[in-house]
Chain A
Amino acid sequence: GAGVSQSPSNKVTEKGKDVELRCDPISGHTALYWYRQRLGQGLEFLIYFQGNSAPDKSGLPSDRFSAERTGESVSTLTIQRTQQEDSAVYLCASSLVGGGQSYTFGSGTRLTVV
């Protein structure tokens, strides 16, 4: 597609439930990133996929968070047993390989845990 697509755009879930967020990157972009932004905060790195390399999971806040990517296409971010502090906008971005290349972000998924 023309841009990075994320779904759903909004998700309200009960505490303790699992949620799955989806990201469709720009075709041909081998790098894919997940970030989250809590209210009033900056961008918090979660995970980074680059081609077939092992993902950089250094930003995942707990083992309740996991992400997968199928080849160089769709990625899903799964949050198990959601907590209220997981409420945030989850942003996905993709980019071409190479230093200096800018990211293209999706519009995000606003997750609210009640």
Chain B
Amino acid sequence: DQQVKQNSPSLSVQEGRISILNCDYTNSMFDYFLWYKKYPAEGPTFLISISSIKDKNEDGRFTVFLNKSAKHLSLHIVPSQPGDSAVYFCAAGAGNNRKLIWGLGTSLAVNP
């Protein structure tokens, strides 16, 4: 049973436009969420996180929105750049349980 779901395996966006990557979860105990970015032949790198006490966290071009009632979060990248082309993973955790639960990833392609 997939507790963290990224329903879009891929997304293609034009350079300069907004990229929106979505993530849904089923476990209401999750209280923090993270987004990771992965380039081929590299390990995932941490991008941005959000605690369940917030509904928005922004870092430069990256903003994560959390809708707890819908158990949904999204990552917005604006403006999108070709270098943003990568696989994006959503992950969730609960309390001090360090074992994150991961989505299957969304492959983003930003076209020049």
B66 → A minimal CB distance (Å): 13
Judge whether B111 is part of the interface by a CB distance below 8 angstroms: no
Q: Are A102 and B99 in contact (CB under 8 A)?
A: no
* 8 A-B pairs (CB sep. < 8 Å): A48-B99, A50-B98, A97-B98, A99-B93, A99-B97, A100-B49, A104-B46, A108-B41
* Residues in A49-108 with C-beta less than 8 Å from chain B: 50, 56, 91, 93, 95, 97-108
Give the nearest-CB partner of B32 in chain A.
A100
Count of B residues near A, CB < 8 Å? 25
What B residues does A42 contact at CB under 8 A? 89, 102-105
CA distance A14 to B32 in the complex (A): 42
Judge whether B28 is part of the interface by a CB distance below 8 angstroms: no
Judge whether B43 is part of the interface by a CB distance below 8 angstroms: yes
A56 → B minimal CB distance (Å): 6
Which residues in B have some Cβ–Cβ distance to A below 8 Å? Answer: 31-32, 34, 36, 41-46, 49, 51, 89, 93-100, 102-105
B38 → A minimal CB distance (Å): 8
Q: Are B99 and A101 in contact (CB under 8 A)?
A: no
